[in-house]
Structures are given as structure tokens and as C-alpha cells.
Structure 1
């Protein structure tokens, strides 16, 4: 209800704030470089832990002779589908279906065009409406979040009631190994953040504690989006950077989900006694880098990508059933990790842009202070 219009309003508002600044290209390059690097690290960590812990070894499952319906469509993921999917047929349809990536693409085009118009002719009515829309959506968010404690309790109670405590005990080793991996990933992300933010990275982690907890309890990054943006702004990240980088991260920087995908694929292969060579594992990693992008807003997105990867590499699709039962508990951890990863990425990019902002401001002052030659001639 609130995420789609909030993403649109914040991105457009952020692009308007950038105006004629040359930092937009710099921010985009830095953001995508961080996202791709973090994706590779997360996938490599998941594969490394799966090879080290070998959670599926000893299960000795038999590959089913007939195809098993796991209730997950895996045939719709391809590079061609991804490229055609990112451009919405209709903005209204993208908003109605909560297609975050399509909304992101449209918002970038719309915001860039509006920023150009405002630079040419001054402030516009649409620009003021967008700013007011941001304020309205954040107020609606406050109303929704007032009921968050009840929703969190209901979500946890529902998961335990439906799945049962015995199931958690049966999968406790697998779940425990996965959460050890998430802990290591947190340490890696915070370490990279420390390089740029120094001790402020610990203040950042504390600042996003509330949205991270909310994401963990609800297993939904979208529910934590407004609070994450608010926490980053309070931390000191400029609104124009938060409004652009954070939504971008929701489609391209899912660190926890990336680690889970590689970990789960190898777990399923081990459970069926399928030995994957080093070359095959590298190909799986490269495949996951491509197929995992732009899946925000897709229900059970990680499961869909895993199922697609299993089909591509001739692995038993029935293996999805092994992780489907406990996916809710795994989703909680990886969703919280996604929030932490995007928060650190946004703060780091903001810190590296401080110098560029100062240069832009100096250039604007110099340009504005230059007196045209024609005016000097008139004065003489």
C-alpha cells in the first residue's frame, strides 16, 4: 500500500535535489560497483560455507524418477525476461503490482526529466507536489508502524504454529549453520563499512536497529523501508542520496538473499549425492549474479531463483521441498541482513560523495561570480 508510491516519491525528490549536480553519475557508478562486489562476496561466502559444513551430506536422498510439483515457477527467469521486465508497460500497472524495479526505472526517467525542466525554468508545481507526497507517505507510514508490534507478534506466532517447533528442531543444524554464515557476512559488511566510516559504522548499525529488527520479525524488507530511510537521514546521510541509493539497493543489493541462494543450491546437490565440480560451482555463482537481480517484490523471490538455478544445472527440483518448510525462519535472517547491507552501502556512498559536493558548490559559486564580457563592455 505504501511502498510503491513512497519509492516513486523519494527517488524523484532525490533526483530533483541533485538538480544539475554532476554527482548523479558518480553515485550510480559507486552504488553499482558496491552492489556487484557485495553480491560476489555473499555468493562466495555461501558456497564456501556449504563446502565446509556440507549440510546435505548424509541425507542420501534418491532422485525422483518423475517430476515433482513444488509449487514454484522456475521457467520465467532469463536474461531476456529480465531486460524486458524492467521497463513497465504501464506505470499504473507497475504501481498496482508493486513492481519495485519497474517503478525504480520509471522514477529515474521521470525524476531526471523533471530536474532538467526545473533547471531550465525554475521550481515547478509538480516538484512541489512530489515533495508534499513524500511528507504524506511518511505520515501514513507512521500510522501503519503504530501497529507494527502487533503484526510482529502475529507473524512469529503464525510461523511457529504452522510449522511447529519440532520442525525447527529437525532442521536446527541447517538453520544454525546458515545463521553462522549470516553472522560472518555481517562482520564482513561492517568491516568494509569501517574502512570508509571508521567508528561511525557502529553508530550506523545502532541507528538502523529498529528497521533491522522489524525486517527480521516480519521477513519483509519492504516493511522496514520507511524506517530505514528515516534512520539513515537521522544518521546524517543526505536525503538526495538516501532517496536514490536505497531503492536501488532493494533491487540490486540483497546480500543475505545472495548468500542463501548459493548455500541452498549446494545443500540440495549434497542431499542427493551430486558432486559439483569447481567449474560447475563457478558457473552457478555467475548464473545467480544475473538471475537474482531485480527480484524485489516477487513473492518467495529467493525460492524462485533457486528453483530456476536447479533446472538450469539439471539438479532435482524436488530439493526445493527440503528448504521450503523452514524458509520462513531463514527468510527472517536474510531479510535483516539485506537491510544492514543496504544501510552500510548508502552511508558509505554518502561519505565518499562529501568531497564531490564541496567541489560542485565551489564551481557553482565561481560560475555565478563570473561577469559576462558583454556586461563589462556595456559598463565601459
Structure 2
């Protein structure tokens, strides 16, 4: 089933480009028919994304609460959380630094010689600047129902952290709620299986609309920026997968095969949310216990957006180059440190990378209107950085699981799974029965891989 769905997604991508180009070529752009075509294509993608967004909040809440409650003790939770954050911070530093190095070497903005005022901020639309203190205040929810309604991953994470620790503390009294959280997560995965059947149609609609609206010429106009940014992404993938191979060894190749489907979904839809439910399922199959992925993966979606962070540094320096503004090494290091803070939690903000770039430009007195340079092709850039976010979080979750000595035996990657959620439930139940055994005894060291 997995292989067939991947093939259908690829077919949807190709057909979307072909049909979109045909509409742009043969349907007059000022006609009502053209508008109907665009709205029709957009509707396919919007329905799919709305259904996925419907699943995200309850899925994260259920998996986080159950995962934290079954850590066994606070020391296991603290150890895994510390290791996860250490990995995320290091990955952030590498991603942003690589973006700065590559944009300085390739200089995609050199030669444009734009004058300040060449673009109007109206072209970008209203992009709210980030305020550090507002961001910190925004992390803590005042209403968990509102946080779920808005799919605010950070606020859901904070509530689930308190709920999971609280359920661990009250013991037997909290077990019905823990089982309810597990059932909620399994229900969302079952529904995900149904929703994913629409993925090829959604991919077709998303790409058809973009190509019909902008045409293939836009790829030529921005060819240098796109090519050089994707070269930087390939290097980042190499570093991430290489770091993962140090811990996972030969199983890194299996992980790549497992994540290909959520990767295609993320690339095609330019939405990390769209890939999240499928990524949970594929990590289950790779051998990551839900009690680990249910805690680390949502945390990574808030703090480990490697592709988005590299793009923020790449685009910021690109805009400075386009306006012939020389930035010293000291200033670029300050930009790096600023992005390390401002890029955290951006998954919950629409047009998140543009928000971060705008805030950084304003902070360093660079022309904010330069965001219009990248706004026109932001969708194409977003496809690459979103796929990179998925790769980075898959590697991070798998490595931390291996680090804890909890990586299980994987399933055949292309095996038929007509009852995938049921299997996942079985794995989850098994994990609950062995919860105490899976807590690492510091005197004996981590248990051997199963």
C-alpha cells in the first residue's frame, strides 16, 4: 500500500505540473474560466490540508500525554528532553551557519544593485514582526481549547507536559486518562489512514495551481536563487544523515526508505503538518516506540526546523546582497544568534519564515521591503525547507531513541499494512506492559536493542 500511494503521489505531482501549464497556456488569464480553474485546483489542496490540520492538535495532545506518562519517572523524561534539546540546538547552529556560509560563497543576490524603496512592503502583505517577549509569553497557554483550535504546537506541548507529569504523579487514578490519551492518538492515526488516500489529489491541485498562476517561467527567473538554495539543502541533508549514520549505522538507509512518503507529502504541499501523522506511523514501523516519538517529534516540530532556519539565514544575507549592503563578520554572527532565538516555535505562525526574516531585517536596519524579492517564489523555497524539516526531525527522533537503547526491530518497509493503526495499537500496548522495563537503570546501562 505504501509503495502504491508513493507512486500515486508522484503521478499527481507530474500531472499537476502538466495540467497547470496547459491551463496557463490555453485559458485566458483574465477570463472567469481561469479563475474557476485556479479555485478548483486550490480547493483540492485546501480540503486535504484542512483535514490534516483537523488531526494535528488531538494527535499531538494524545501522543505527548501518553508518551510523557509512560516515561516511568521524571529522570527518564528529563534525560530524554535534555538530549533532544541538545541535539536541536546543535542542529540549529549547524543549519543557520551553513546557510550563512553558502550564501556568502555563492552570492545569489550580487549584481541586482537594488535601491532602497525598489519594492513596496505592500507587495509582501501584512507580516507581523516578532517581539522576543511576546514570543516567550505566547508559549504559555491561557486556554488549551483555544491552543488546540489554532493548532498552536508550542502551547499544546506545554499543556501536555504538565498533564503527562501530573498523570505520572497521581499514579493509578490517572490510568483511565492515560488510556484515553492513547485511544485518542490511535483514533487520529486511523482517520489519518483515510485522509491520506486524498494525498495524490491534493498534490495534483497544489502544484497545478502554482504552475497555472505563475507559469514555468518563474522557475527560470529565480533559477539561480532556487538552484543555490537547493544545493545548500543537499549539503544540509548530507550533514544530517551523516550525523544520523554515526548512531544508526546501516539502519540510516532503512530510515530514508521509511520517510520517503511523508517526505513527498511535505515537499508537495509545503506543509509540515500534512506530513506529521504519516511520519508518526513510519517511525513506528522503523522501530521507534510511541512513548519516545510522541514526546520528541512534537518537540522537534517546535524547536528543530532545520530547513526553515537555514532558509532564514540564507534569505536575510541574500536581501542584503541585493541592496549592495556589506555586512561584517560580527554583524553576521549577531544575525546567527538572533535567528537561533527567533526561529524557535515558528511552526505555529503562518508564513513563519517570512516573519522571522522580516523581524531580523528590521532589527539590523536592513530594507524590510526586500522580503518581496523572495515572496514571489516562497512556495517553491518552502517545499524544500519543509521536506528538510521532516528529514531533520525523523533523524533526531531515531537517534535519540537509539541513544536511549530503545530502538526496536523494524518491519519490512514495503509490507502491506491493511490494519496499520491496529498494529500500532498493539505495539503501543506492548510498550505499556514493558514501561517499567524500558526505563533505563543507570547502574546497568541502557538495554540492548530489541
TM-score (norm 2): 0.78
- For 2:206, which of 138, 155, 176 is the aligned residue? 155
Q: Secondary structure at the match of 2:121?
A: coil
Q: Secondary structure at the match of 2:193?
A: helix
Change (3 A) 1:314 1:184: same
The answer on 1:142 being equivalent to 2:193 is yes
Q: Note if contact 1:100-1:297 (Cα within 8 Å) is conserved in structure 2.
A: yes
Listed one character per residue, the Cα deviations across residues 322-354 of structure 1 (whole Å, up to 9, x for unaligned) are 000000000000000000000000000000101
Q: How far did 1:124 drift?
A: 2.6
The answer on 1:86 being equivalent to 2:127 is no
Q: What corresponds to 1:11 in structure 2?
A: 64
1:143, 1:279 → 2: CA distance?
A: 52
Q: Note if contact 1:72-1:303 (Cα within 8 Å) is conserved in structure 2.
A: no
Change (3 A) 1:64 1:201: same
Q: How far did 1:74 drift?
A: 3.6
Q: After TM superposition, list the pairs within 5 Å mapping 1:228-377 onto structure 2.
A: 228-354=279-405, 360=439
Q: How far did 1:130 drift?
A: 1.2
1:66, 1:202 → 2: CA distance?
A: 45
Q: Note if contact 2:97-2:336 (Cα within 8 Å) is conserved in structure 1.
A: yes
Q: What corresponds to 1:62 in structure 2?
A: 115
Listed one character per residue, the Cα deviations across residues 28-75 of structure 1 (whole Å, up to 9, x for unaligned) are 110000000000100010000110000000000011199633313243
The answer on 1:73 being equivalent to 2:127 is yes
Q: What corresponds to 1:51 in structure 2?
A: 104
Change (3 A) 1:161 1:66: closer
2:118, 2:387 → 1: CA distance?
A: 38
How many residue pairs align between the two structures? 362
Listed one character per residue, the Cα deviations across residues 292-328 of structure 1 (whole Å, up to 9, x for unaligned) are 1011121110011001111101111111110000000
Q: After TM superposition, list the pairs within 5 Å mapping 1:174-193 onto structure 2.
A: 174-193=225-244
Change (3 A) 1:165 1:364: same
Q: Secondary structure at the match of 2:268?
A: helix
1:178, 1:8 → 2: CA distance?
A: 35
Q: Which has the higher contact order (CA 8 A, sep 6+)?
A: 1
TM-score (norm 1): 0.91
2:118, 2:233 → 1: CA distance?
A: 35
Change (3 A) 1:71 1:126: same
Listed one character per residue, the Cα deviations across residues 60-94 of structure 1 (whole Å, up to 9, x for unaligned) are 0011199633313243x122112100011101111
Q: What corresponds to 2:12 in structure 1?
A: none
Question: For structure 2, which runs of at least 5 residues remain unmatched after alignment?
Answer: 1-53, 408-435, 445-450
